[in-house]
Chain A
Amino acid sequence: DAGITQSPRHKVTETGTPVTLRCHQTENHRYMYWYRQDPGHGLRLIHYSYGVKDTDKGEVSDGYSVSRSKTEDFLLTLESATSSQTSVYFCAISGLAGGTSYNEQFFGPGTRLTVL
Chain B
Amino acid sequence: KNEVEQSPQNLTAQEGEFITINCSYSVGISALHWLQQHPGGGIVSLFMLSSGKKKHGRLIATINIQEKHSSLHITASHPRDSAVYICAVMYSGGGADGLTFGKGTHLIIQP
Binding site for B on A (CB under 8 A): 31, 33, 35, 40-45, 48, 50, 56, 58-59, 90, 92, 94-95, 100-110
Interface string of B93-111 (1 = CB under 8 A from A): 0011111111110000000
Whether A109 contacts B42 by the Cβ 8 Å rule is yes
Q: Which chain A residues border B102 with CB–CB below 8 Å?
A: 42
A109 and B37 CA atoms in complex are apart in Å by 11
A44, A59, A92, A103 pick with most chain B CB within 10 angstroms: A103
- Chain B residue nearest to A44 (CB atoms) is B101
Shortest distance from the beta carbon of A16 to any chain B beta carbon, whole Å: 29
Give the contacting residue for B95; candidates A44, A95, A109; CB below 8 A: A95
A94 and B42 CA atoms in complex are apart in Å by 16
Interface string of B33-52 (1 = CB under 8 A from A): 10100000011110010000
Whether A43 contacts B45 by the Cβ 8 Å rule is no
Give the contacting residue for B48; candidates A35, A95, A103; CB below 8 A: A103
Ordered by A's residue number, 15 sampled pairs between the chains whose C-beta atoms are within 8 Å are A33-B99, A35-B98, A42-B101, A45-B99, A45-B100, A50-B96, A95-B95, A101-B48, A103-B30, A103-B48, A103-B90, A105-B99, A107-B43, A108-B42, A110-B43
A56 and B30 CA atoms in complex are apart in Å by 20
